[in-house]
Amino acid sequence: MAKDEEKSAANPIPKKNMRGRKETPAAPALDLKASPTTASSPNKPKRVRSARPFPAGPFDEALTFAKEIYDLGSGTPVRRLTLFDHLQRTPDSSTSRMLVTNASKYGLVKGSYASEQLELTPDGKKVCDDNTSPREAARLKAKLAISDIAPFQALYDKFTNAKLPPRAALIDSMKEAGTDPDHLEEGVDTFIVNLKFVGLLQNLSGADRVVTVEHLLDTLPGTLPTAASSSVPPAIVGGQNLMTQEQAAFESTCFYITAIGSADSDQRKHSNLFLENIVEPAIQTVGLKVIRADQIDKPGMITRQIIEYLFRSRLVVADLSFSNANVFYELALRHAIRLPIVQIIRHGDPIPFDINQMRTVTIDNRDIYTLLPNVELYKSEIASQARRALEAGVEVDTPVSMYFPQARLTI
């Protein structure tokens, strides 16, 4: 009897209400003090994600990191801790570890994030060396960023000498190449960004076309570049429904901070253009819904609601265009809490010194002829940065964390 009672206590029989229906026990209350990025159901089995068959970031970021190794050690191995101290980064943060891992997967660096020393590969040394001819440097970049990554090479082989196909076709082709469904969206974004960076995606006759390596090399001089052009290209620094606050699930929300302005202002037109045509489509690929401040439909202090979205949203996209003071104030609050951020800006606007070390997607919207051909590229760049920021979780690097690694605002 005692054992039966214990079993009954461990597995209580659901009670019946007055109509004879079974009542489900009430769900436990959410702990609002817990980080919004870590909340999960204790009873729901976790799905194991497969390993990516490609690096978790674009080639240009890995190349910039390899260039830092080359410059610090003059081509010789460098101590990992010394390197990250030089970069003013925390060596054991998830973003720092990912930098090393991606540089290694791209064939630029020997060693892992746990290695005492980091060393450039022979190809890595050549591509970082300013004395390498433009043609050889371009050939190596194409090899490391596309050819040596199996799913990227499969897509490149299929669409060479053709217009860049619609996104759905790229996803289908990457799936045919054996990429797990978990990584299809990310893989396509990284492929497009890499293709553009190394020069294999060119705008010809008004359309983006995937060109051959030979075509690319024919456009470059075989001699050494001049002093003005010899450096490795830097990382890119370069009808809406209202939603009530109660309906907003912060864990699936991306908060878009931007200069909004009055209904007919340039700021509003700009914000609507970026939101509807670039930001929303890009963020939808990572499974989040974009909310802007004017879409919060609830009586009360708008400032308090904005701050709550800044502190609790899974991701924030900050549009630095127009150098709006409110945007920078809100960005500083997000920096303090060290949760995922993606920065964007229109071409021609300055990035303040305090945040110019943060990667920023520059969008050229000076006219329709420069904007339209590159919309897909901008969406892929934003989606790629969003994925890496989300993976970093609470280990996001910001100007605050660079100088005060232990400082973190919690709620």
**Residues 313, 183 share a domain:** no
**Residues 216, 272 share a domain:** no
pLDDT of residue 313: 93
Residue 178: helix, strand or coil by DSSP?
coil
Which of 179, 205, 203, 206 lies closest to 190 in space, CA to CA? 179
Domain boundary among 229, 258, 277: 229
CA dist., res. 309 & res. 256, Å (int): 10
pLDDT of residue 404: 80
pLDDT of residue 322: 95
pLDDT tens-digit profile of 387-405?
A: 988 886 556 778 887 778 7
> Is the residue at 32 inside a domain?
no
**Residues 272, 215 share a domain:** no
Domain range for 180: 59-229
**Residues 154, 299 share a domain:** no
> Is the residue at 328 inside a domain?
yes
pLDDT of residue 231: 35
> Is the residue at 34 inside a domain?
no
> Is the residue at 6 inside a domain?
no
> Is the residue at 384 inside a domain?
yes
pLDDT of residue 36: 47
pLDDT tens-digit profile of 117-151?
A: 999 999 999 999 989 999 999 999 999 999 999 99
Domain count, the chain: 2
CA dist., res. 294 & res. 284, Å (int): 19
pTM of the shown model: 0.69
**Of 252-256, 296-300, 349-353, which range is least confident?**
296-300
Residue 344 has pLDDT above 90, yes or no: yes
CA distances, 27 to each of 14, 23, 44, 46, 102 (Å): 14, 12, 13, 19, 41
Domain boundary among 200, 229, 258: 229
**Residues 280, 200 share a domain:** no
**Residues 392, 302 share a domain:** yes
**Residues 186, 290 share a domain:** no
> Is the residue at 19 inside a domain?
no
CA dist., res. 386 & res. 316, Å (int): 9
Contact criterion met (CB below 8 Å) for 193 and 54: no
Residue 153 has pLDDT above 90, yes or no: yes
Mean pLDDT of the chain: 83
The token duo for 339 is 């949760």
**Residues 221, 102 share a domain:** yes
CA dist., res. 250 & res. 386, Å (int): 16
**Residues 388, 266 share a domain:** yes
118 bridge partner residues: 78
Give me the amino acid identity at 17: N
Could you tell me the CATH number of the domain that includes residue 331? 3.40.50.10140
pLDDT of residue 42: 55
CA angle 133, 137, 138 (to 5 degrees): 115
**Residues 158, 288 share a domain:** no
> Is the residue at 145 inside a domain?
yes
Give me the amino acid identity at 298: K
